[in-house]
């Protein structure tokens, strides 16, 4: 963690509504007369949030709510405003205008109250490279004033979760990216936060490690932790209960994956496989009746209007006529990636 992510106010003198060390399940309604109202309150509520750098608007009047206990995916291409949004929600960057409530607190007015109840795994993984695994965990436990017995049990949990048992004394810089990623998750959750912000946690990690990391996130979600995860891997949308898609600082789609598909995809998609993908893509990009064509995994996707007369058979015939005789064509349901590619192309 860079110093930016360390809570600026660590005294704990002014405890707000909850102890930072209380896991959601442990909260009893008896102790909290207003517990049911709090449970219904969103974990994050954002209205008109805006950030400018000079005359450039990086985040432009965004609105969204994150219900408690959900895995909320904040998706967008490079430079779209994901990190800037997270930094405003974690109280490390002041918005130019708008409101943001995090765990019931106004994060602009009281960043300190929010910071001790959240975890933040920043885009650079926020670890001290020249410290050992154990020293990193101790550092973060210190940031949150974890009592020694709590630290002992959390340390054990984190080392097991991150598969780091036996590596406690290894220098962090010597760990592979996948291990550093899990250690960073452990450091960000050492104080059992109610809400965890993860900024591109799976960036630069191989597909197997990405899959394993998502399993760790599901485990946290099943224990009641709200997760706010940014990614530019569109396939990771499928891991989320709700999504918001940010593009050039504006939210252009929001909802569950199914809602987003239903609300924003009124075109049809053909999946095309051929050994000559590059020239076939060039041909499709200018083919009459095709709105859009792009690479999708190992195949090509061609988007046509909902009322297009094209069928899989007729598109295959046209491709064969253009010299792509091995092309296989199949009409498919749009993926979230298809929806976003099309939303972005409409913004241009
Ligand atoms: N401190 C800053 N000063 C000036 N411009 C900034 C600053 N921080 C971010 N920006 C700009 O704001 C825009 C949004 O940046 P941000 O880091 O939020 O994007 P992002 O979605 O997190 O991108 P990435 O996927 O690459 O991490 C970019 O154009 C970026 O260059
Ligand atoms: Mg970023």
Which pLDDT tens digit goes with each residue over 128-163?
Answer: 999 999 999 999 999 999 999 999 999 999 999 988
How buried is residue 298: exposed, middle or buried, by Cβ count under 10 Å (0-12/13-18/19+)? exposed
Contact assessment for residue 65 and residue 45, using Cβ atoms and an 8 Å cutoff: yes
Atom of ligand 1 lying closest to residue 51 CA: 12
Question: Domains in the chain, start-ordered, CATH in brackets?
Answer: 35-260 (3.40.50.300), 267-347 (3.30.70.100)
Structure pTM? Answer: 0.83
| Nearest residue to 66 (alpha-carbon basis) of 208, 224, 255, 253 | 255
Average pLDDT rounded to a whole number, residues 98-103: 97
Q: What's the rounded Cα separation, in Å, for the pair 86 and 199?
A: 8
Average pLDDT rounded to a whole number, residues 197-210: 88
201 lines ligand 1 (CB under 6 A): no
Give me ligand 2 centre to Cα 200, in Å: 7
55 lines ligand 1 (CB under 6 A): no
Q: What's the rounded Cα separation, in Å, for the pair 232 and 251?
A: 14
Of all protein residues, whose CA lies closest to atom 7 belonging to ligand 1? 53
Residue 75 CA from chain centroid, whole number: 6
Average pLDDT, the chain: 87
Residue 99, H or E segment: strand 97-102
Give me ligand 1 centre to Cα 124, in Å: 14
Which pLDDT tens digit goes with each residue over 279-335?
Answer: 999 999 999 999 999 998 889 999 999 999 999 999 999 999 999 999 999 999 988
Name the residue with tokens 């960036």.
203
Give the model's pLDDT for residue 20: 36
Percent pLDDT > 90 in the chain is 68
76 lines ligand 1 (CB under 6 A): yes
Q: What's the rounded Cα separation, in Å, for the pair 78 and 57?
A: 15
Q: What's the rounded Cα separation, in Å, for the pair 126 and 188?
A: 9
DSSP-derived letter for residue 348 is -
pLDDT band at 45 (very low <50, low <70, confident <90, very high): very high
Average pLDDT rounded to a whole number, residues 252-281: 92
Q: Which residues of 166-201 are buried (b: 16+ CB within 10 A; e: fewer)?
A: ebeeeebeebeebbbbbbbbbbbbbbbbbbbbbbbb
Of 46-55, 172-181, 228-237, 290-299, which has the strongest mean pLDDT?
46-55
The answer, yes or no, to whether residue 185 has pLDDT greater than 90, is yes
Give the model's pLDDT for residue 2: 38
Give the model's pLDDT for residue 15: 31
Atom of ligand 1 lying closest to residue 232 CA: 25
Give the model's pLDDT for residue 36: 52
- β-strand partners of 253: 245
Q: What's the rounded Cα separation, in Å, for the pair 323 and 317?
A: 10
Average pLDDT rounded to a whole number, residues 264-271: 90
Q: What's the rounded Cα separation, in Å, for the pair 254 and 263?
A: 10
Give the model's pLDDT for residue 38: 55
Of all protein residues, whose CA lies closest to atom 8 belonging to ligand 1? 84
Contact assessment for residue 303 and residue 315, using Cβ atoms and an 8 Å cutoff: no
Give me ligand 2 centre to Cα 83, in Å: 4
Give me ligand 2 centre to Cα 247, in Å: 12
The answer, yes or no, to whether residue 264 has pLDDT greater than 90, is no
pLDDT band at 39 (very low <50, low <70, confident <90, very high): low
Q: Which ligand is nearest to the CA of 198?
A: 2
Give the model's pLDDT for residue 19: 37
């Amino acid at each position: 963690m860079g110093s930016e992510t360390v809570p600026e106010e660590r005294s704990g003198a002014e405890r707000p509504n909850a102890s930072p060390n209380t896991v959601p399940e442990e909260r009893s309604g008896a102790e909290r007369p207003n517990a049911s109202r709090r449970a219904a309150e969103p974990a994050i509520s954002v209205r008109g949030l805006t950030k400018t750098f000079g005359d450039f608007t990086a985040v432009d009047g965004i609105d969204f709510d994150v219900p408690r206990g959900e895995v909320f995916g904040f998706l967008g291409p490079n430079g779209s405003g994901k990190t800037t949004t997270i930094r405003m929600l974690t109280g490390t960057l002041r918005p130019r205008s708008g409101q943001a409530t995090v765990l019931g607190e106004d994060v602009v007015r009281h960043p300190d109250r929010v910071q001790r109840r959240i975890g933040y795994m920043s885009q650079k993984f926020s670890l001290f490279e020249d410290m050992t695994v154990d020293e990193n965990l101790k550092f973060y436990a210190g940031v949150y004033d974890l009592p020694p017995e709590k630290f002992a049990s959390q340390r054990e949990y984190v080392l097991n979760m991150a598969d780091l048992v036996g590596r406690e004394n290894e220098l962090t810089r010597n760990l592979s990216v996948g291990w550093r990623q899990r250690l960073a998750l452990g450091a960000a959750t050492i104080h059992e936060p109610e809400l965890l912000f993860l900024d591109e946690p799976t960036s630069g990690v191989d597909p197997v490690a990405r899959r394993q990391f998502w399993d760790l996130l599901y485990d946290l979600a099943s224990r009641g932790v709200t997760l706010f995860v940014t990614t530019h891997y569109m396939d990771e949308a499928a891991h989320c209960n709700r999504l918001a898609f940010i593009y050039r600082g504006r939210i252009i789609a929001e909802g569950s994956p199914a809602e987003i598909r239903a609300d924003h995809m009124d075109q049809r998609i053909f999946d095309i496989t051929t050994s000559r993908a590059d020239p076939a893509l060039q041909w499709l990009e200018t083919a009459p009746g095709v709105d859009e064509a792009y690479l999708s995994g190992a195949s090509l996707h061609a988007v046509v209007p909902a009322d297009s007369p094209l069928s899989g058979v007729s598109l295959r015939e046209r491709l064969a006529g253009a010299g792509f005789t091995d092309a296989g064509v199949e009409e498919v349901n749009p993926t979230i990636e298809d929806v976003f590619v099309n939303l972005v192309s409409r913004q241009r």
